[in-house]
């Protein structure tokens, strides 16, 4: 592997680690001025439209079948309208770090859904992971300052619901008939999910704030969410899936909450309690156990690549 490609891979990992981790902060800042459904709608319609333009510019066919259109609409609704839009709503009443830790339980939820829906066997390490994950969520939510706040409890329940919808959508996408081109698939999901969010905004009678009224923080956050959170990070994600293993890409599950909690503490002065840190460590360790088999495969592949590179250097 040449150095240019290595640097590109490192940059892409930075994108899915740090940029995706920072989207919690960006959404939290933007939702301080903008209504949540309007914010998410604007983000995804514009980002999806830009990806469509990119596809047309590159000569990618954007025509899809009726079945694919229905499937992308359903996936966009679950992923973006519910899984993201309602999380943005919850960020009005909960800290960004707290939300990111709850969302990191997604592998646990997918494991449970796979067992409930398809009776997929659960490995011993995964059972340990589930137990640790449940304990971590309990410790995270069962804090005195959070129990006393009805808003925080509501936010936690809403986010957990979104984690289940996102988990089900992940399973659905793995089996559904979708456009083969990943850019086209994502563009349809973003635009459709964004228009559903637009209807949700109108249904909730949100008071829209037009762009000429946005403050500097909102503008910067929205630009970051559209260009970096939606387009750059997605492109990096897509590139890594084709270049390295999906297991290595999935390591972002462990990093995003750490980035989100750190940025929330640093920029927004969010409180990070000792119990939250302990809960986060237990929860993320549980996620590691759930993915243990895949993690071992990643380590083996990583060391085998290093061994091959050393052999090549020695021969040259």
- What distance lies between CA 66 and its chain's CA centroid? 27
Q: How many residues does the chain have?
A: 316
The DSSP code sequence of 174-208 is HHS---SSHHHHHHHHHHHHHHHHHHHHHHTT---
Q: So what's the pLDDT on residue 170?
A: 80
Say which residues have a Cβ less than 8 Å from residue 219's Cβ, sequence separation at least 6. Answer: 211
In contact, 19 and 232? CB cutoff 8 Å: yes
Q: So what's the pLDDT on residue 286?
A: 78
CA–CA distance, 273 with 139 (Å, rounded to integer): 11
Q: So what's the pLDDT on residue 313?
A: 57
Global pTM value:
0.80
Q: So what's the pLDDT on residue 283?
A: 78
Closest Cα partner for 42 from 204, 221, 304?
221
Q: So what's the pLDDT on residue 246?
A: 54
**Mean pLDDT for each 10-residue chunk of the chain (316 residues)?**
78 88 92 94 94 93 94 92 93 87 80 80 75 78 67 87 87 84 87 96 94 94 92 79 64 79 87 81 78 54 54 58
Q: So what's the pLDDT on residue 299?
A: 46
Q: What is the pLDDT of residues 203-259, one digit of tens each?
A: 999 999 999 999 999 999 999 999 998 888 877 876 776 677 555 666 677 788 888
Q: So what's the pLDDT on residue 277?
A: 83
Q: So what's the pLDDT on residue 207?
A: 93
């Amino acid at each position: 592997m040449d150095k240019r490609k290595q640097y590109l891979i490192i940059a892409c990992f930075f994108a899915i680690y740090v940029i995706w981790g920072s989207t919690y902060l960006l959404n939290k800042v933007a939702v301080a001025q903008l209504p949540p459904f309007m914010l998410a709608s604007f983000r995804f319609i514009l980002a999806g439209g830009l990806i469509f333009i990119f596809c047309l510019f590159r000569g990618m066919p954007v025509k899809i079948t009726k079945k694919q259109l229905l499937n992308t609409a359903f996936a966009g609704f679950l992923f973006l309208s519910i899984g993201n839009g309602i999380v943005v709503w919850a960020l009005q009443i909960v800290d960004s770090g707290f939300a990111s830790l709850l969302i990191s339980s997604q592998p646990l939820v997918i494991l449970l859904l796979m067992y409930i829906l398809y009776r997929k066997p659960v490995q011993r390490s995964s059972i340990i992971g589930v137990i640790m994950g449940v304990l971590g969520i309990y410790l995270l939510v069962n804090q005195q300052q959070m129990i006393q706040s009805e808003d925080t409890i509501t936010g936690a329940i809403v986010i957990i619901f979104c984690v289940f919808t996102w988990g089900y959508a992940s399973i659905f996408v793995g089996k559904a008939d979708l456009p083969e081109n990943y850019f086209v698939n994502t563009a349809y999901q973003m635009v459709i999910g964004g228009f559903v969010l637009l209807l949700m905004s109108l249904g909730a009678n949100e008071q829209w704030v037009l762009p000429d009224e946005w403050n500097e923080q909102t503008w910067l956050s929205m630009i970051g969410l559209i260009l970096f959170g939606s387009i750059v990070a997605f492109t990096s994600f897509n590139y890594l899936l084709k270049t390295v293993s999906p297991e290595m890409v999935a390591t972002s599950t462990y990093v995003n909450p750490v980035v989100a909690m750190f940025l929330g503490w640093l920029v927004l002065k969010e409180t990070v309690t000792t119990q939250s840190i302990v809960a986060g460590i237990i929860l993320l360790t549980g996620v590691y156990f759930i993915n243990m088999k895949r993690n071992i495969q990643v380590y083996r592949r990583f060391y085998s690549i290093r061994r091959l590179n050393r052999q090549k250097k020695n021969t040259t």
